[in-house]
Amino acid sequence: MTDLAPPAPAALFPADLPVFTEMSRTAEGRAWLAGLPALVETMRDRWQLRLGAPFHGGSCSWVAPARRPDGGEAVLKLTWPHPEARTEGAALALWDGDGAVRVLDSDPERFALLLERVTPGTEMGDAVHLSADARLSAAAEVLRRLWSADADEARARGIGRLADTTAEWAGLAERQAARRWPAELDTGLYRLAAQLFRELPRTAGRQVLLHGDFNPGNLLAARRAPWLPSTPSR
């Protein structure tokens, strides 16, 4: 169990965190960042947490190690509200620790999650002691477990279909194709993308619950399983 010394207030929001760089690019992001310290305090008080310095990573979330009142380790994750993150907690709750980190508590309205702390937490991308084939096999086994979740139950919990998401992307690609572009830009690529976004989901042989950001940086070495997919920045 890691001991957490209370960090100085400034240490909770270091200027070099990627989330500050990325979210400061838009007015909406800057507004969320302005309210982030108060949100951290709200969730720390609500769940009675002792917080450590945040993890260095993640482009649209603030994530830090935490200690619960009973001494148990956890991770507090606060995410900039956007559609892709809306059902993150619902999906993790449906998996219920089977192939993914557990949700210990959540506040969907605030896009706040209290998650299981994964230790040692080494990212699969940094597991240089494993061959590429071994990492691919391990990742495939994790996907097999994730895809065993009940797709009907996922829809009942408000998790949307991939086809609905890609239909939105198709509309965006079509709008991009209709814009004025330099003659050397092939706008047919946008139209092809729109076509594939609409057609490919229809070819699926079955419905499964997908992890929306499955990559080596979000597969972490764990004590209770070889690898567990987490959300960005643990």
The active-site residue, picked from 96, 126, 150, 213, is 213
Distance CA 190, CA 177 (A): 5
Residue 78: closest CA among 121, 119, 33, 116:
33
Annotated catalytic, 3?
A: no
What are the angstrom distances between the C-alpha of 215 and each of 133, 140, 227? 15, 11, 12
Torsion of CA 128, 134, 139, 144, to 10 degrees: -160
- Joined together, the tokens standing for residue 15 give 């200027």
Round to whole Å and give the CA distance between 118 and 138: 17
Length of the chain: 234
Burial class, 177, CB count within 10 angstroms (exposed 0-12 / middle 13-18 / buried 19+): middle
SS3 47: helix
Catalytic residues: 213
